[in-house]
Amino acid sequence: MAFTDQLLEDYEPLWQRMLGHRFLRETRDGEIAETTFARWMRQDYRFVEAACPMLAALISKAPLEHRPPLTDALSALYDELDLFRDRARAAGIEVEEAEPAFICHAYIQFLLATAHRRSYAEGFTVLYAAEKAYHEAWKVVADGVGPASTWQPFVENWAGDDFAAYVAFLEGTLDDIAAGASEAERERMAELFETTVRYEVAFWELAYTSTGWPGLEGSSGR
């Protein structure tokens, strides 16, 4: 069985919990509170910004033949940031000034620490997990969001054909990488897959929670 098939099978309950998060269901059904969606947008904008240096650090470790497609993926993140700003303007949301909430801050540190400290195979696993999760999550949303929705461009971006092809590239490439990895490294890759999906769940959860830090919820912040 291919490595990514095995991952998705081994972590099926966690994966389904992520795809079943109420954020996705409520966005699909047009029932999500504006403040909830806006909180997600502001935090995800910060997250995508931080994913850029993570991907660049991964490219710096990549073998020759992976560099051009990963560089295209990096350029696509810049377009994604444009999309965020465009949708934020359309919805009257300010995204460029938001402080990262605790969960967002933590996920960003995880991305960056992984990119710098882990092997290429391990860092690639985190990239795959996060992009695959987004693709599948927005396919859930796509079932209900119509062309008139302000959020249709997000659906097109992550559930559309281009992103599907990108995720398929990541999937096939990760299977190849895993085939050449030692058993010990494959175990570390699987652990990082699980951690990434846990962070994805936490990130959807963030949209419904205070953006304060643990033990400081009532404080004025910085």
Smallest separation, CB 169 to a copy of itself (Å):
16
d(CA 167, CA 132): 6
Structure tokens at 152: 């249709």
d(CA 68, CA 74): 10
Candidate list 6, 36, 71, 152; residue touching a copy of itself; CB under 8 A: 71
Q: Do 98 and 43 meet the contact criterion of CB atoms below 8 Å apart? A: yes
Residue among 191, 210, 160 nearest 14 (CA): 191
Candidate list 26, 44, 49, 80; residue touching a copy of itself; CB under 8 A: 49
Sequence-distant (≥ 6) Cβ neighbours of residue 57 within 8 angstroms:
112, 115, 116, 123
Please list every residue from 95 through 154 that binds a copy of itself, using CB under 8 A: 102-103, 105-106, 108-110, 112-113, 115-117, 119
Residue 216 engages a copy of itself in binding (rule: CB under 8 A): yes
Candidate list 13, 92, 146, 147; residue touching a copy of itself; CB under 8 A: 13
DSSP state of 215: T
Q: Binding residues for a copy of itself, per CB under 8 A?
A: 13-14, 17, 21, 49, 52-54, 56-57, 59-62, 64, 67-68, 71-72, 74-75, 78, 102-103, 105-106, 108-110, 112-113, 115-117, 119, 180-182, 184-185, 191, 194-195, 198, 201-202, 204-206, 209, 213-216, 219, 222
